[in-house]
Every structure is written in structure tokens, then in C-alpha cells.
Structure 1
Amino acid sequence: MSRQLDEIDRKILRALVEDGRLSNTDLARKVGLSPSPCWQRVRRMEEEGVIAGYTAVLDHEALGLDDTVMIEVSLDRHNATALESFGKAMAELPDVLEVHMMAGEYDYFVKIAANGTKGVEQFLREHLFGVDGLRNSRSTFSLRCLKRVTSCVPQEV
């Protein structure tokens, strides 16, 4: 980020995180600006990459994907090719919600949405276990999500 965000920028970001479909007029009203300066601030933050995009948040349970599973993955090799290959393989799978390269006991943290234990088994057998260089994995099921955010707005520093 090329500059510090002021409090109005942070108000705009919080409002958009809460409801990305706000019209510029409603957003401006919510943050205490007139529409033109509000639009200019949003545009600037989009151009600077502070606002990376807009998306719909889907209800996985309503789509029949009742289970969220966290999978810790260790690879048997740690060269650039193996790491890139694993990341690319996971990024192409629609069931994969997030992939994080980790420091610590395991190499990757993979979060998937699945339709029950059969869906998890299918993901493991058809996708994860076939990835070249996989040493081992450990899966844990989320019982309930207590907080879900797609982004956070930094507090004033």
C-alpha cells in the first residue's frame, strides 16, 4: 500500500466488507460523505489494490456442502518445483476454499467444503492423495463456524 488509510477510508472499507453491493449513494450516506468524494476514494483504493475485488459469499450448507474440513499437508520434498506443483494442483480444485503455505510442523493448510464424510473421502482419494510428493496429511472437521470474515480493516496505527 502506497499510503496510510485515514478514518474515512476505513469506514468505507468496513461498510463494503459488510455489504459489497451498497450503491455509492448509500455508501456515501453511511460514511458521512457526499457521493462524488466517496466514489473518488473507492476508485483510488481500487486502483491502489486496497480493494482487490468484489464477490458473493455463498452458503455452503445451502449448496449441500455441509462440512468444512481443515487438512494439514506435509510434502516429501521442499524444492521450488514441488511447492509450486502442489499449490497449483490445489488452486485448480473447486472444493478447495483456501490453501496456505505454512511455517511449522506441516507445509500446507488446505480448507475444503465437502458433502459429508463420503465427500471428504472422495476429495482425498481423487485429488489430494494423487498429488505427487505428498508425504502425509491429517484432516479435522469443523463442528461449527463461530466467526467468518472475508477481509479485515486495520485499526488506526
Structure 2
Amino acid sequence: MPDELDPIDEQIIETLSRDARATNAALADQLGVAPSTAHARTRSLVERGVLTGFHAAVDQTALGRGLQAIIGVTLRPGQRQENIRGFAQEISRHPDVIQLFFLGGVDDFLVHIAVDTSSSVRRFVVDQLSARPSVASTRTSLIFEYHRNAVAADFS
């Protein structure tokens, strides 16, 4: 558990979660502290592992990938440890994959993809998922809207 967060730490986290490009001067002004204090506090949050990165939100539509889907994947029983590792390593490197979640529950994984057409979703499911001997089943849901409240760090 990281050291306790005080109200200034919480404001820094909230501000940078909304706008990772906020300047140190703007951050200090918003917090009502000296720029050196804002800088030191932000650096401390990074060193303590509370802030793990600064991210850019990418408009997938502007990249020609306006169709997004979440695909639930269930793996076959047997050799699960190897199948879990192999699946995660290979699928997470695929260029259509935005996020990959390893789960406990009905699905073993949720795969978040962005592509150009519904045919591309079908191709991804058939060629990249269903064709794998380790995959027992898939369930595909198209994403109509996406709202992000925060960017989560990788689990260790």
C-alpha cells in the first residue's frame, strides 16, 4: 500500500488523469502551490508507483478503425498454464488489439479490438481466435460508445 495520499496528491492525480499534458505551471496554479512544489509532488507520485505513465488518447476512427468490439474468449481445459501464457503473448501483439484482459469468471480473456469493418471483426475472430486449438469459444460484442474515466496501469 503506497503512503497515504493527501488532498494535493489526489488533485494532481485527478488533473493528470483528465489531461496528462497539463503543464507544471498550470498544475501549480490549479493547486494553489509553487511550481517547485507541484513538480516535487508529481515526481514523488511517480517514484512511489502511484503514477505509472502519461498517456495519449487515440481516436481510432481517425486512423480508419472506427469499429470496435470486445470479444470474450474461453480456452479449452488441459495445459491451461501454457495456453494462457501463449494466448496472452500472441494476441496482445496483434495490431488490431487495443487491450487484453485476463479474467476469472465465465470468460478467460476479453479482447478489445479496433478495425475498419464488420468483415474485419469476423476475420479476426475466425483467423486469430477460433482457429487456435486452445480456444473453446468466443462471444463478440460491438462497442457503440466508449467512455473512459481513467487509464489503468498494467497489473504486476
Normalised by the size of structure 1, how large is the TM-score?
A: 0.88
Quote how far apart the aligned CAs of 1:7 are: 1.0
Deviates more, 1:113-122 or 1:67-76: 113-122
Question: Quick one: distance in 1 between partners of 2:24 and 2:52?
Answer: 17
Matched, 1:6 2:15: no
SS at match of 1:28: helix
Which residue pairs with 1:81 in the alignment? 82
Aligned counterpart, 2:44: 44
Work out the CA distance in 2 between the residues paired with 1:89 and 1:130.
13
Q: Which residue of 2 is the match for residue 54 of structure 1? A: 54
Percent sequence identity is 28
1:9-38 per-position Cα deviation (integer Å, ceiling 9, x unaligned): 010111111111111111111112111111
Q: Equivalent residue for 1:104?
A: 105
Instruction: Report the secondary structure of 1:110's partner residue.
Output: strand
| CA–CA distance in structure 2, aligned partners of residues 130 and 69 of structure 1 | 18
Q: Is the 8 A contact 1:89 1:131 kept in 2?
A: no
Question: Alignment length, in residue pairs?
Answer: 151
Match of 1:135 in 2: 136
Q: Which amino acid aligns with 1:26?
A: A
1:78-101 Cα distance to aligned partner (Å, 9 max, x none):
621111111111211121111111
The match for 2:72 is 72
Q: Aligned partners of 1:45, 1:120: CA distance in 2, in Å?
A: 39
- Report the alpha carbon displacement of residue 105 of structure 1 after superposing the two structures with TM: 1.4
Q: After TM superposition, give the deviation of residue 144 of structure 1 in Å.
A: 2.2
- SS in structure 1 at match of 2:90: helix
Distance change in 2, residues 1:41/1:132 (3 Å) = farther
Give the gaps of 5 or more residues in structure 1: 153-157
Q: Counterparts of 1:37 and 1:143 in 2: how far apart (Å)? A: 42
Shift of 1:76: 0.4
Structure 2 counterpart of 1:25, one-letter code: A
User: Which runs of 5 or more structure 2 residues have no equivalent in the other structure?
Assistant: none
TM-score by length of 2: 0.89
Aligned to 2:21: 21
